Amino acid sequence: MPIKYFKGLSLEQLAEQLSININLDFQNSTNPLNSSLIVIPNTNIRTWLQLKIAKLQGVSLNLTFEFFESMIVNYFLEKNDLMNDQGMFESKLSSQYKILNYLLKEKESKLLLPFSKYLDNITRAFSLSSKIRSLLDEYEFNRPNWIIEWAKEFNNGSFAPIGKSNYNLPHGSDISEFQIQMYKEIFLAKGNEKIRTNQFLLKKENRSPKLKSSSTFPSIHIFCLSNLSELYVQILEEISQKESNNIYFYQFFTDLPNLEFDNLNSSPLRWARSQKYLAERIESISIRAEFSNKLVSDKFNDKNNLNLLRDFLHGKKSKDQIQSLANESKIKDHIRFWSAPSIYREVEAVAHDILNKIQENKDSNHKISFLDISILVTDINLYRPAIEWVFDGGIHLQETEDSLPTRHKIPYSLTDLKGIDNSFLCKGLLDIFSICESDQIKQEDIITILSNPIFGFFNQDSSLDAKDIKDILLNLGAYYEEEQKDSDLFQISKSIKRLRMNTIFSEDYLKQNLEIEAISGYSDNDIQSISLLWYKILNTKKNIKSSLSESKLSKEAILQIFLSLEDIFQFENEFEREANNLQDWYDGILEWENFEFKNFKEGIEILKLLTNSIFDRLPYRHGSFLIEGVSISLLQPMRPIPFEHVYILGLGEGKFPGKIDHSKLDLRKKDPKPWDSNKIEIQESLLWEALHSALTSITLSYVGEDTKEQKFYNPCSHYLELMDAFNINEPYKIPLHSYSYKYLENTNYKCFDFSLRLLHDTNLNKNRILPKFEEKLLENSKQNSFEQIKINLNDLSKFLADPLDSYLKKQLGMYMDESKIEPDGHEIFTLQALEDSSLFKKIYPLMIQDIVKDESWTWDENKIKECLDKIILEEQRNSRFPQSIYSELQRQSMLGYLITASEIFCSWKTELQGGQYFRTVSIGDTGLRENTDSLSNYKKLKILDIKTESDSFIQLTGEWNNVIQKDNNLYWLNIGTLETIKSIKEGIFIKQNAFSFLSAVAMNYLGEKLIIYSMKSRPKDPKKDCMKLDLSILTNTQQESLDPLLYLSSITNQYLHKDPILFSRKAFEEYYESKIQSIPIDEFINDDPSWKKYLIENSEDVVKELSNLSRLYPNIMNFMVESNPLDFAKKYYLPIIENWKPLE
């Protein structure tokens, strides 16, 4: 096969030459059914060529596309009449299996001592085997004569040299000897059922010419490969000497300038090192074979000055020449450099720029579409979330001046995705294996797998979803499942049985005969669905555990695991591809048949590692490349397909071009060759090609800062080199927000987001650009608006403690019941603090109501135990209290607290005996009704109306539990913590006591005298953990009677203000503690300059102490200083401090 070599820097011109040569193939072929064979570097090139050739030929031709390896292998298979015998080759997984087996069996040998720490852990051993497998592949590709020499040493002479050996054999170290010995024993021993692909090519008999010639290979077109392994180059040379058919080699490269390549260190041409070596290697074949060389003309349009960039990339002009010409041209309009504040803003800016380019060209003769634009990224996993958020989420914009703003999505295709990151099946398998690996199945595990759409658990007639299942499990008290704990009602199986019993027995029967509380509200279909879900999970775990019980991946065990998994997945509609993936996974696991492991957990770990490895090789993509909008991919598959506008993102230092692998395992390190390419050189060559793909403009970008962490980053050296060559001192800094005023200052960069216009267009309201939109907003606001007629004292206390946080939550609708916030990371077999409190709330009222009785105090340890056990039994029946040892530990802990509480209540009895006990006392209408039997001991006080600044009235409401009325006083037995004045230095005094003080002020206004008896909910010391506070008489800072109406009116109107108020309570308390001992109170509270000075000097610490929500407020530091007069503390905080005098 004579080699015909074509090179050029225009992919379109190379494609035209390819089309011409394909026509020649058909004209010279005796069989019209023969197809032209085109060898391609990636699937994206195939799509582009199919479209390009069809356009050039005017008809779709019979073309076959293959990668180089499969082409060479198929060529020799046909030569040896083995075309259909593809099962003869060993897969990568199978090779890794052999390597790992060898490592584990020989780990005690002397040669493997350096790897002992890796081999003691199956995960590390698996990783090591993967690394060694890839290195052995590299040796076969780029050091084929090593393999031939090793085979001779092992008495295996079936391998024949290819070309001349010009590299030394590795010897002299334990690492080299270990790899050589391992390769010989595993892959050169006789009796292997399958052969490695490269070994097949190295065998002399497979490459020997046969009598029959290759009819399927009339000619071979090798299109735009940037590099080839030494083995493939040698085989290509050998074929060219023995065959008569043509080999067409098309390379994206050009003739070098009249300078030595090694002297071009100042030129980006050094980035094309692999292309240069391949060009020299192919041209060297001309010495030994028929060869023709043709430089394809590069037809570029001079209108946009990108040819200046190409001259720089080719080394045709020096940097000084480029700098001089750049000042005279408009190149800066066509090669741009950006710096972004985040990945999200980087992608969003690209989206807006794409819309701008399409808009600018919509009326010109050279219209462009989304198909004319490509985005190349250096890390697809890093950029994918931002791409999906911006392109799928769309941009809020107006199509015309009078139209409503709508969200416009940008169509795109995204390639280079991997199954390990995108397959629902991969995630599902790993979740199932994680459940199997643990001795315990947690409630969270079930919720996790239910969030996966391919799990097929639900009855078709059931409307349950994952959230419903979670709510049901929480309601049932089903927290976990663990073997040998069948009697624990917290077990999920027990809860499911209780749920199913509700469909069989009546409520009375369950309670009387089975001592089980009935559960209502679920249909039979719902119960059937959740039961099916649970038993499928249990059966799957049981089957997998049983399959791995023999510590070996036998064929039967793998099949059993496969069938169990197949039963819990459903592959319908858009998930049909996952069914094929499951079969691929099964085939991959079969490659590891008979692999032995130590125990069940190690077996599960192997399954997880294999799953990751298998899905890491499965390609995924979003959309169809070149036909579904903007093309987005890594540098690798896109190069150098031409697009009008190209964006290359992620060119930050450390992000590109990556790092060199300095592994000591690589035996090529001691004798490197020109064809060896490291990661940096590969990435540089891809960038060099990608820079040629732009026809009109190219934009290079990196993330220059992390606004969240306040860190700054530099661009990579390649980015800086190009900037310097074109005399660009600073990159364009993308604004932090899409509504930034900077878009108005720099008209070269557009932002179409409606928020920009909404904030900065002064004509928006005057001209009513969006009347329908505004009317819709007004209509919605009227429907949602309501006049607030009640304020709870609890809300006022939160406002008093943190005015800005309270204001923001009210405006954003973020109020929440803080008592329902659950702490993270609690143990499933201990009570959470809030659930513990609910038990105390049931017992304490029973004890408190006995305080007023004339009888002596009877709550001794025995009575407390009896009451506690009764409540615990009821809670256990409803799976709300642990059992076994945990139950006893929790019970003893609670019993200790209750005994201490009983001592405190007994001491209060002498003062409160004879009073009247009220379970609840309220001000205003709080929803309680006096005629409710369970609340017969309920007292409702007078309504408390406050006049607002708008002359309307608003009602204050509040509730207090456990109140005793005696001698015209109300004694509030507060089960909770009240802080002493000492806590002011900790900054928690006002926050903890605000509600209690507001309660006293409200009671005072209504003519009631409030005295607070407070006790910690979990008291340990009867003297330290309780407090008595007489708030029946309140005074102000001048020791005059406090006007309760004035105080309540003032704080209520502050609460109702439409403008935010910021006063740092914690900063004030710390300031008060530091000053009050040396300054009179009147001087202290009126010294605003000293207070502001304190805020400025400690501004960073003060802001850190604000709530998370308050810190998000714009210009928070300036706002804090400007809106923090001491008058707020004088009005509201000092009365609390002055009146807080606990009784002895």
From the list 901, 942, 898, 414, the residue with the least C-alpha distance to 629 is: 414
From the list 85, 91, 84, the residue with the least C-alpha distance to 593 is: 91
Q: Which of residues 512 and 500 earns the better pLDDT score?
A: 500
Domain ranges of the chain: 3-80+216-299, 89-206, 306-413+623-734, 424-617, 914-1143
279-283, 517-521, 726-730: segment of lowest average pLDDT? 517-521
Residue 415 has pLDDT above 80, yes or no: yes
Look at residue 250 and give its three-state secondary structure. Answer: strand
Predicted confidence at residue 932, as pLDDT, reads 43
Q: Which of residues 331 and 725 earns the better pLDDT score?
A: 725
| Residue 942: both structure tokens together | 């007078």
Q: Which of residues 397 and 461 earns the better pLDDT score?
A: 397
Residue 722 has pLDDT above 50, yes or no: yes
Contact 159, 150 (CB under 8 A): no
Contact 800, 1047 (CB under 8 A): no
635-644, 744-753, 817-826, 959-968: segment of lowest average pLDDT? 817-826
Proportion of the chain above pLDDT 70, given as a percent: 86
Predicted confidence at residue 784, as pLDDT, reads 42
| Identity at 417, one-letter amino acid code | L
The DSSP call for residue 569 is B
Predicted confidence at residue 652, as pLDDT, reads 95
Residue 782 has pLDDT above 70, yes or no: no
pLDDT in tens, 623-633: 888 888 999 99
Where is 1029: in which H helix or E strand? strand 1026-1030
Q: What is the CATH number of domain 306-413+623-734?
A: 3.40.50.300
Predicted confidence at residue 211, as pLDDT, reads 44
φ/ψ bin of 962: left (φ > 0), alpha (ψ from -120 to 50), beta (otherwise): left
pLDDT in tens, 337-385: 999 999 999 999 999 999 999 988 877 777 899 999 999 999 999 999 9
Residue 971 has pLDDT above 80, yes or no: yes
Residue 718 has pLDDT above 90, yes or no: yes
Q: What is the CATH number of domain 3-80+216-299?
A: 3.40.50.10930
The segment with the largest mean pLDDT, out of 139-153, 422-436, 701-715, is 422-436
Q: Which of residues 937 and 827 earns the better pLDDT score?
A: 937
Predicted confidence at residue 475, as pLDDT, reads 76
Report the topology of domain 424-617. Answer: PCRA; domain 4 (1.10.486)
pLDDT band at 240 (very low <50, low <70, confident <90, very high): confident
Report how far residue 920's alpha carbon sits from residue 938's, in angstroms, rounded to the nearest whole number: 5
pLDDT band at 1081 (very low <50, low <70, confident <90, very high): confident
Predicted confidence at residue 250, as pLDDT, reads 94
What average pLDDT does the structure give for the chain? 83
Q: Which of residues 40 and 1076 earns the better pLDDT score?
A: 40
pLDDT band at 930 (very low <50, low <70, confident <90, very high): low
Predicted confidence at residue 786, as pLDDT, reads 43
Report how far residue 1001's alpha carbon sits from residue 94's, in angstroms, rounded to the nearest whole number: 80
From the list 763, 796, 850, the residue with the least C-alpha distance to 958 is: 796
413-422, 465-474, 545-554, 742-751: segment of lowest average pLDDT? 465-474
Q: Which of residues 776 and 13 earns the better pLDDT score?
A: 13
Helix axes 793-801, 1044-1056, angle to 10 degrees: 70
Count CA within 13 A, CB hemisphere, residue 789: 6
For 37-78, the three-class secondary structure string (H helix, E strand, C coil) is EEECCCHHHHHHHHHHHHHHHCCCCCEEEECHHHHHHHHHHH
80-84, 271-275, 321-325, 800-804: segment of lowest average pLDDT? 80-84
Predicted confidence at residue 350, as pLDDT, reads 96
pLDDT band at 1125 (very low <50, low <70, confident <90, very high): confident
Residues near 432 by Cβ (< 8 Å), separated by ≥ 6? Answer: 449, 540, 541, 544, 565, 568
Report how far residue 221's alpha carbon sits from residue 352's, in angstroms, rounded to the nearest whole number: 40
Average pLDDT over residues 639-653: 93
| Number of H-type helices and E-type strands within the chain | 49, 29
| Residue 134: both structure tokens together | 């890839």
Predicted confidence at residue 965, as pLDDT, reads 95
Average pLDDT over residues 1009-1018: 93
Q: What is the CATH number of domain 89-206?
A: 1.10.10.160
Predicted confidence at residue 402, as pLDDT, reads 64
Residue 193 has pLDDT above 70, yes or no: yes
Q: Which of residues 785 and 313 earns the better pLDDT score?
A: 313
State the sign of the Cα–Cα–Cα–Cα dihedral 340, 344, 347, 351.
negative
The DSSP call for residue 389 is I
Report how far residue 501's alpha carbon sits from residue 511's, in angstroms, rounded to the nearest whole number: 11
> Is this model's pTM higher than 0.85 or not?
no
pLDDT in tens, 18-47: 999 998 888 877 776 778 899 999 888 999
| Residue 25: both structure tokens together | 């193939």
Residue 556 has pLDDT above 50, yes or no: yes
Residue 497 has pLDDT above 90, yes or no: no
163-167, 229-233, 541-545, 1033-1037: segment of lowest average pLDDT? 163-167
Residue 1126 has pLDDT above 70, yes or no: yes
- What is the rounded radius of gyration, in angstroms, for the C-alpha atoms of the chain? 39
Predicted confidence at residue 531, as pLDDT, reads 83
Report how far residue 310's alpha carbon sits from residue 331's, in angstroms, rounded to the nearest whole number: 12
Predicted confidence at residue 286, as pLDDT, reads 58
Predicted confidence at residue 923, as pLDDT, reads 93
Report how far residue 332's alpha carbon sits from residue 326's, in angstroms, rounded to the nearest whole number: 8
The segment with the largest mean pLDDT, out of 145-159, 576-590, 634-648, is 576-590
pLDDT band at 1011 (very low <50, low <70, confident <90, very high): very high
| Residue 1077: both structure tokens together | 């001992």
Predicted confidence at residue 34, as pLDDT, reads 75
837-846, 883-892, 1043-1052, 1114-1123: segment of lowest average pLDDT? 883-892
Q: Would you say the CATH fold of 306-413+623-734 matches that of 3-80+216-299?
A: yes
